[in-house]
Amino acid sequence: MRLLRGAWKILVAIKDGLVLIFMLLFFWLLYMLLSFSPNPAVPSSGALYMNLNGTIVEQPSEPAPVEVLSGTADNLREYRLRDIVRALDAAATDDRITAVALDLDGFLGGGQSAILEVGDAIERVREAGKPVIAYATGYADSGYALAAHASEVWVNPMGGALIVGPGGNRLYYGDILRRYGVTANVFRAGQYKSAVEPYTENQMSPEAREANQALADTLFEIWREDVARARPDADLESIIAAPADTVEAAGNDLSRAARAANLVDRVGGREAWVARIAEIAGEGVGENSPGFQAVPLANWIAANPAPTGGSEIGVITVAGTIVDGEAGPGTAGGETIARLIRRATEGHDFAALVVRVDSPGGSALASERIRQAILQAAEEEGDIPVVVSMGNLAASGGYWVATAGDYIVAEPSTITGSIGVFSIIPTFEGTLDQLAINADGVATTPLSGEPDIFGGLSPEAGRLLQAGTDDIYRRFLSLVSGARNMPAERVDEIGQGRVWAGATARQLGLVDRFGTLSDAIDIAAERAGLDADDVSAVYIEPEPSGFAQFIQSWAGASEPASSSPRDIWTRLSPDPRAVLATARAEMQMLLDGPVMQARCLDCPVETGTARSHHPPMDMSMSTMIAAWLFS
């Protein structure tokens, strides 16, 4: 009995402790709700403090609230492109903003089209007569593409600026898969559909090398032209062609080399940069002040919402990998987007639709689901015009979705095309042989037990998979042919899975004109017979849950006083976590499907920690096999 009484006391103590914890959590959340302000105050004047500690994306993903509350969530942020542009445009015309402090110490980049659009917005601030003063410990390609548009570019004495340019290596798994007896059964349509090569080869094919080199050269030329226009006196050639010689000529001092090449205006520490901004905006007050009178970016965005009123144009966002079923922000779930479009058209009377695509593609089935939902919405609204706006990426399944549009707008640096399809199924007959495991069974038809991942695909199954892949490619060609008023033979010629920059895609007829999302909305208004000044955009996209929004807003309510500095070598070296995350994701795609995909895996993607996610705890059989392969 004494033992039972002791156990009972322990159980009661545990119960009381849990109740106490619950009550404390309840009152803490209640306090946060009562003290939370959805529209943070904006000072009467000051410098817009753009402390970009993360990446610029089309649609931020949603971190798990538990990770935010527990402090395990990544501190790096994802900034919505249109919010950044709207904030800069508002700063250009608002007298409360006296300057823009562009803090790029923690900036991890973004797609090239997004960077160029923000650079143009910075130019508009300067044209309004307001200085933009940039600072970083070290500049690489994306950061410098923004800084080049600033009035003054500062660099830390222990930092510098180096230009890498597009390119680099990727992992090829063909040999290791063969070593462990895994067969990657690949079926593809398109000579350049090289997304599956990493699973079958140990190096890049000549066709893939040709296509990737042409794309990288085009993108780099666009980057150089933009930076040269923004900073015509900069000696880009020396720092690009002979960086070691340039640095050695400056006494091995990277910051002096950057100044000598006129890539930067001032060499100085953060304190000197802060003092320079304080000369314009005034001294900062308060414990969390960065040292000058600052208007935090989050507060400014909240104080300057997107305009409303007039005729409405629906903007459908297709951002991230296209997947079947439901998905949250940052991933394009076919069913999620179709449902959002249906609900939006039920609650609004749209004059036109704009489809904003920033996706490397994914599931062919989900791509078609989204395309059909767009066409149905346009028809139900009275056959209204549909204009497609391409962001950083609109490739493969992303271009599939774009065929729903009457008119396509892209940026010269948009990565598009990749009109091709592939199917891939791994089988493990060799793995089982190594483990001395045999698979056997019975069959009633040629397809019984197919696809047989234990014994390998039968010739009949292989023929059917190739036939299905060819059929999806034929459908893809037909969609593009009809949408672009182009013979299917010509589409096949420029298709074949090849990836194009927007500048080339326009010459090929895959794009109608260059422009931003704002330009696409204006075009949609014009095609609907409306004045662009008399329309407002209604964004149709998945929103974070209310609780997640509150947790994120509370956790990020105050801007940090400064970013975490990253020296130039840290910026140039790949994050090992991102490399491993990419390898895991590629193996996950091989093992878990979908089998048939319209996806561009050759397209450059953001692999920084701001886009990385913790893997789920539950592991499928195929995931466990992948873990064994890489153990």
**Total length of the chain:** 631
Kindly give the pairing relationship between strand 499-501 and strand 294-296: unpaired
Active-site entry in 359, 363, 367, 396:
396
Judge contact between 357 and 416, C-beta under 8 A.
no
Q: Which residue matches tokens 């793995």?
A: 431
35 catalytic? Reply is no
CA distance 367 to 324: 9
Which tokens hold the place of 11? 């159980």
319: left (phi over 0), alpha (psi -120 to 50) or beta: beta
CA distance 105 to 554: 23
Look at residues 461, 465, 442 and name the one whose alpha carbon lies nearest to residue 452: 461
CA distance 191 to 395: 16
CA 606 distance to own-chain centroid: 6
CA distance 95 to 44: 9
Q: Concatenate the DSSP letters of all residues of 425-454 into one string.
A: EEE-HHHHHHTT-------SSTTTT-S-TT
CA 283 distance to own-chain centroid: 36
Phi first, then psi, for residue 219 (nearest 5°) are -65, -40
Judge contact between 233 and 262, C-beta under 8 A.
yes
Which residues are CB-neighbours of 492 under 8 A, at least 6 positions away?
A: 477
Active-site entry in 142, 193, 359, 612:
193
Side-chain half-sphere CA neighbours of 483 within 13 A: 26
Side-chain half-sphere CA neighbours of 183 within 13 A: 17
Phi first, then psi, for residue 557 (nearest 5°) are -65, -35
Query: Which amino acid would we find at residue 294?
Result: A
Judge contact between 595 and 188, C-beta under 8 A.
no
Look at residues 610, 599, 566 and name the one whose alpha carbon lies nearest to residue 155: 566
Q: Is 415 helix (H, G, I), strand (E, B) or coil?
A: strand
CA distance 236 to 221: 12
Judge contact between 81 and 319, C-beta under 8 A.
no
CA distance 380 to 236: 53
396 catalytic? Reply is yes
Catalytic residues: 193, 396
